[in-house]
Amino acid sequence: MATPSLIRPDHRLLRRAAFIAALLAITLCIGTVGFVVIEGYGVFDAFYMTLITITTIGYEEIHRLTRAGRIFNSFLICFGVSVIFIAAGAMTQSIIELELQNRYGKRRIKKMIDNLHDHFIVCGFGRVGRNASMELLRLQAPVLVIDQKEDRVERAMHSGMLALEADATRDDTLRAAGIMRAKGLIASLPSDAENLFIILSAKTLNPGLTVVTRASEEEAELKLRRAGADIVFTPYAIVGHRIAQALVKPHLVEFLNIATSDVGPQVTLEQMVLSPKSALASKTFGEIQKRSIVGVILLAIRRAGGQMVFNPSSETMVCAGDYLIAIGEKPGLEKLERLLGGS
């Protein structure tokens, strides 16, 4: 996904502002030093005389100038006034460019969001939402982040994601995010109440949407499921369980870490759906294994009805709509995916 243009000042505008400030500072320094050396003014009087000269205020001279002082002041007027005009013009140009950048940047982002289909909406770009978004981005899935904090929105956009600075609990925000065309939604706001509100709104707008959330409190898990969440994670319970397993069954934890993350650039765990158009539809698990290449291990079948079959026997029938869970090298997984006719 191409990185959308930010609607904030870019480095070019910041460099321009720094150049203007430096030019004004140099002009003030030249004038101050000139009046101190030529007319013997004090530093403050010399600075004040320079300031009223380059800004064309029109006050009278602090002290009567000598001929040499007036010659110097004439050059300072020409140079200083030119600098002021350049600074005013540059600042005006910057403001106009920023306004145009905001207007067209927002319009461009809206157009990109309107073109999204089967994308994933991440509500909240905190620690949970950020890691979930980065994993989706790594899997080359289209991601749209919604957060109310400006710095988080900019961070998401810098990472290559589309982002909206808005309140994810509002229906109009979800509609603007293309909730009707989305494939899934992650509710990762810090409050269970806010996540509950998002889930109710999302499921009302798109009942077929897959919704995943996290529960800060274990008592909230049942409420979130009743609201329509398909999967609810309780981080404290999960972490506590894994910590205990790491002490008692360290090799099992090591395998789970390997199975749920990329092992280098080649080995990964994937799910693949069996398409009705595939030649392997309504075949046995053993027949599918014969067609698989070396380096792929089929671990389980998730039935279309929701039943999970672990370590299926070779006589187990696999039907269209079933998901196969496999681990192996990416080329082998891609070949198996093509045979199954789904992703």
The Cβ of residue 35 has, within 10 Å, a number of other Cβ atoms equal to 27
Q: How far is CA 11 from the centre of its chain?
A: 20
pLDDT in tens, 183-209: 999 999 988 999 999 999 999 999 999
pLDDT(326) > 70:
yes
Q: What is the pLDDT averaged over residues 154-171?
A: 89
Confidence of residue 100 (pLDDT cuts 50, 70, 90): low
Q: How far is CA 264 from CA 268, 322, 333, in A?
A: 8, 28, 15
Domains and CATH numbers, the chain: 11-113 (1.10.287.70), 116-238 (3.40.50.720), 266-340 (3.30.70.1450)
Per-residue pLDDT, 330 = 79
Give CA–CA dist 144/38, Å, rounded: 64
The percentage of the chain sitting over the pLDDT mark of 70, rounded to a whole number, equals 89
Give CA–CA dist 205/168, Å, rounded: 13
pTM above threshold 0.85: no
Q: Over the chain, what is the mean pLDDT?
A: 83
Q: Looking at beta carbons, which pairs linking 164-167 to residues 24 or more positions away fall under 8 Å?
A: 164/109, 164/113
Per-residue pLDDT, 12 = 66
pLDDT in tens, 203-248: 999 999 999 999 888 888 889 999 999 999 988 888 888 889 888 8
Per-residue pLDDT, 4 = 44
Give CA–CA dist 202/6, Å, rounded: 27
Q: What is the pLDDT averaged over residues 270-284?
A: 83
Per-residue pLDDT, 293 = 58
Confidence of residue 103 (pLDDT cuts 50, 70, 90): low
Question: What backbone phi and psi angles, to 5 degrees, belong to 340?
Answer: -75, -20
Q: What is the pLDDT averaged over residues 40-50?
A: 89
